[in-house]
Amino acid sequence: MMIFNLNFMGIYKKQKQFSIFNLRGFTIIELLVAMGLFVILVGIASGGFIKVLRMQRLIVELMSANDNVSSALEQMAREIRMGYDFNKISETELQFVNTYDIKVSYKLNDKTIERCVEESGLWNCKKITAEKVNISNFKINLLDNNDYPPRITISLSAGVNDKYFENTPINIQTTISSRIY
């Protein structure tokens, strides 16, 4: 059955009416190629998405470790700034008397920083860094000159206790000068 239609220039045009028998479909090869391309594109997109999620997890873990180490260093700096009678016990331990006349020690023990307080001749130690934070390098340098107040330089390398993020250290260094001279 033919239908005539008048287009914009006034010319009659012959059109075929819709019929189920005159439609042509896709071949099976065309469908397989299209599906293959679609699967490849979805695979690339999902792989990129997974990589972005892992990178975001790394950034969040490192920010958390950085915040934890920064707050531990700030706590140490506040107490050292008001302390006196500084003794460097080892490369990783500093002992001094704080503003309340209590002997305090900061040291590296089992990849965490500990604050130890002397009570009745015994040392009571508590961790000041989180369990997920791994302190790999901790050095204390004491410059004690009689002409100037003592200066303590603390440098450390911290990371995250996670198998994916072992090789991403955070290096921090601070120098503290005692106010009590």
pLDDT digits (tens, 9 = 90+) for 37-71: 999 999 999 999 999 998 898 888 889 989 999 99
In the predicted model, what is the mean pLDDT of the chain? 86
Contact 139, 92 (CB under 8 A): yes
pLDDT digits (tens, 9 = 90+) for 17-41: 656 555 566 788 888 999 999 999 9
Straight-line distance from the first to the last Cα atom of the chain, in angstroms, rounded to the nearest whole number = 109
Question: What are the structural domain ranges in the chain?
Answer: 32-177
pLDDT digits (tens, 9 = 90+) for 78-88: 999 999 999 99
3-state secondary structure of 129: coil
**137 closest CA partner among 163, 171, 90:** 171
3-state secondary structure of 144: coil
